[in-house]
Structure 1
Amino acid sequence: MVKLNINLILSGVSGNTKKMRDESISHFLSRLTHLHLQERQLDEIKCDLSMCPNLLVLYLYDNKLPRIPTLDGNKFLTRLYLQDNSIGTITNLSSLRNLKVLYLGGNCLNIIEGLENLWELEELYVENQNLPPGEKLLFGSSSIMAIAPSLRILKTSGNQLDSLKELQPLHGLTHLYINNNKLFSMKDLSDVLINMYQLVQLEVYSNPFCLLNKFRDKIIILVKSLEMLDGREISKTTKKFLHNWSVSKNALKRNECKAINSHFPMNHLAKGDAADNGRKAFPRFATIAGYVIPSLPIRKEFSRILAKASTVKNDATNKVSSSFNQTLH
């Protein structure tokens, strides 16, 4: 067991900051801005870090801390490094109103909460939590809403996520890392990304939806501000090509709708019976604005339907003609 004490604190002072001759230890500690206490096997912070009231950056990563130490006396902290410890709950952060960067990856968190007062937080790293089998990382709604206006970078890779709905309020993100999760649905992803107008970098690899055809193209079309996807730069040429392709595809769908409506008009039916009659006559079709249109079949299927209808019509005509000729003879 290793507990933090005055001697360890003094050993964690950067070489650029030196104690002056005849300067008291308390005065020396009071003017520290950076404190390096990483990789010390610490499992308890015994002394009060308020003896360093002007700290801006605190390094506590790669230790064995089971909890976040009391930091009420360090209200000027802007960067806090707590990754790769054994922290199970986010506590003792409510006084850090100036905190901008928080590293909590590689701990034992199962829910992100306790961030309600971190109104200046810009970067949050909570990747690769040591979760029990079958569990996923959760995000408390009150914490997400509190940091949403300021947060720009979120890293939540490797946390067994199967949905991103809890992240919908984060409209201001510029960087999002959600790779190595269990995201299956492109629609769920789209519902979150569609409102992230400032997103420039996104990592999604090693999710199940990445097996879908053209998933990368769909993301680029959806997020117009994106510049980097899974470590690959998106060129302006690629963006322009995919945009034009999407516009052409949507126009083609609209034209197919119009063509089908013209072949199957419903305005000759009684108003009250149009929808019902349309469904009976064409059960695969959907009724929109008084017309019966299909649920956008592909062109080959549409052509097959029209060809079949034409064949049936010709057969009926030939039978009538043959019957008429036999009557005459």
Structure 2
Amino acid sequence: MTNNVFSPSEAGLGIHIITYSYTNEIGCSNTISQSVLVYDASSTDLSIELISPVNAPNLTNSENIIVGITNEFFNNATAFDVSYSINGGETITESVTQTIEPNETFNYTFSETADLSEVTTYEIIVSVIESNDMNLEDNVYTDSIENYGNLMLMPEGIDNEITTCQVNFCDNGGLNENYSDNFSGVVTFYPENEDNMIRLTIVSFALDYSDYFNIYDGNSINAPSLGNYNGFSLNTDDEFTSSADDGSLTIQFNSGSYTNDNGWEALISCYSLTPVLALSQASFNFGETNLEIPTEANSFVISNSGEGILNVVSSVKVMVIKMLFWL
């Protein structure tokens, strides 16, 4: 300050605090301060954040890296570099010629994609480099992105249908975050093969007591209910298997607006109905008599009467033996 006049050229570039003090004729005094920024006409301030990818299942070996660059300053920003690196590996740098006006954000997609196919967590560091950037604190952004693998998140809406025989299934928060408040979704799982039935096996389960996980034995919420669950009412390895004609199970999930929890993880698989055993795959005897079974037969008659024990020896698991008696 010279003669109570602030001179930007004398103060130089940067932020300066100007303090004004006043004392009146009876001795009362006060002060007030104000920050003044002195900047060059070519100065900029660019910030950056990672837009994509996000935590998700089934990330690939060619994921797009998308960043958002915001012009935080008063001047247009043109011609700058952006870069990214993954887990401390090679830094990929590309040049951007886009002009970004003050207070605007430009999303840039790198031409070089990233391999995120391994099921793990990746540390991605993105940065923006501009020679006249006067604030370097917001030029670098770090985020952790997880590839969940073969994982399906609970979808919103009511018209969701999935055909599968192998998928990990969890709430919309993924494996590491709580599910959302005010969530509502319905999904129906169908088996890949006509003679299979969908089976749901619980891995973990933790809901707020005001939220509900409903299971239906069929392809809609109008099918017979297999139970309405909340809190910690399901345990690891609890199983639900469809008995519907099409082998489907329907899951409905609703959360409230107050509190939430870790949610659930479950395995969706297919249960194969046991085929009819050809009797030639087993040996039978009734009492002391060995029974002769025709090749590929699936039934036979014990014609003699009397008491005895029917013994069955099979190389495969026998689920059901049906026997008919008549007088």
- Which range, TM-score by smaller chain? under 0.3
Using the size of structure 2 for normalisation, the TM-score is: 0.26
Task: Give the number of the structure whose alpha-carbon radius of gyration is greater.
Answer: 2
Using the size of structure 1 for normalisation, the TM-score is: 0.25
